[in-house]
Amino acid sequence: MDDDRPDVLLTGLLFYDLVLTGLGKPPTPGEEIWTGGMGSSPGGIANLAVAASRFGLRTSLATVFGDDFYGTYCRDVLAGQEGVDLSLSRTAHGWHTPVTVSLALPQALGSAPGGTPIHDRALVTHGQEPPYSQDALIGDPPEARTALVHIETEPRAWLAKAAANGTEIYADVGWDPSQQWSSDLLDQLSLCHAFLPNETEAMAYTRTDSAGAALGKLSELVPVAVVTRGGDGAIAVDQTTGEYAQVPALGIDVLDATGAGDVFGASFVTASLGGWSLTERLRFAVLAAGLSVQRHAGALAAPGWYGVDRWWRSLTDPELKRAYAFLAERLPKDPGPAVAYAPVTPPARQC
């Protein structure tokens, strides 16, 4: 309670997301499809920022906003509605905020082995590289309890500085469009406290053929290794405590999977800062990510304490009651007000 450092330091590219859901199949050239749902929200790095802030973490975000409608809307939501600290962020005049249209395709792509429905998205993005790099935005990073980052092949100078000043680095990684999966990227794990890739990424970077084998390789490189497995839940090893954990996913209908991995990461950090056991951390992150896919758009789908509290109070399944019994002691007495979900159309600015 006496620690006034930011709980989470974030930096990365911001998007304005427009998510369309309810498509029965992917569109084809010359065809018009009416969707069953739509939501708009800040996206990209905002997914992590909102998810963390809704769990009461002091969240500091370094990003670039365009001086357009999209940038203004995203800034208003993050700072005004969600309470994210934007003192490290900048507005770039004459630069347009990147815009992504996401077509959520639940069950449109068939089933995986075992009959598990495949949920996927098609993304169309317009934008240019921001005029300020991550290193320029952060400079000498403020001391923070943790940093949540997407590591890339090209190392960022600020990351080593943050690790040196005592910040615990929780890292994720994105899809490699070249599909080279350079193992050089794993060299950066020496700076990290935890690494949380999905199983496709984990197997590709470690040159293994199973999530378990990938986890074994990663646990040799980083104190806490987590591999997320979508509909199969998640597995993890914490070398600092000697714990191994494997938890299943929840049986939840997916409306929009945008940002679910980011919600998982922010939730795992929240539970880690609380000193929870590894199994509790994984279950909590799987739950939060599962609740998020029931809503439109990544950032504003994050459930926060309010959403988790509602789920727990309405839970009747005895098996889940036992598995998540730890929430009875972990949930705050006041989970806060209802969270704001993604609107179909952002409200006009008041002059």
**Among the listed ranges 28-32, 57-61, 111-115, 147-151, which one has the minimum average pLDDT value?**
111-115
- The tokens for 50 are 């909102």
* pTM assigned to the model: 0.91
Taking a C-beta distance cutoff of 8 angstroms, is the pair 8, 145 a contact? yes
Q: What's the pLDDT score for residue 106?
A: 55
**Among the listed ranges 91-95, 179-183, 242-246, which one has the minimum average pLDDT value?**
179-183
pLDDT tens readout for residues 250-294: 987 777 777 888 999 999 999 999 999 999 999 999 999 999 988
Taking a C-beta distance cutoff of 8 angstroms, is the pair 297, 275 a contact? no
Residue 136 predicted with pLDDT over 80: yes
| C-alpha closest to that of 173 among 59, 281, 50, 262 | 262
- Distances 66 to 74, 112, 126, 174 between C-alpha atoms, Å: 10, 40, 13, 24
- Domain 8-330, what fold? UDP-N-acetylmuramoyl-L-alanine:D-glutamate ligase (3.40.1190)
Among all chains, which residue has been given the structure tokens 């995986």? 112
Residue 112 predicted with pLDDT over 50: no
- The tokens for 16 are 């304005």
Q: Which residues make beta-bridge pairs with 125? A: 100
Would you call 142 exposed, middle or buried from its count of C-beta atoms within 10 A (0-12, 13-18, 19+)? middle
Angle between helices 304-314 and 278-292 (to 10 degrees): 100
Cα separation, 257 vs 17, whole angstroms: 13
Cα separation, 51 vs 283, whole angstroms: 16
Each domain of the chain, given as residue ranges in start order, spans: 8-330
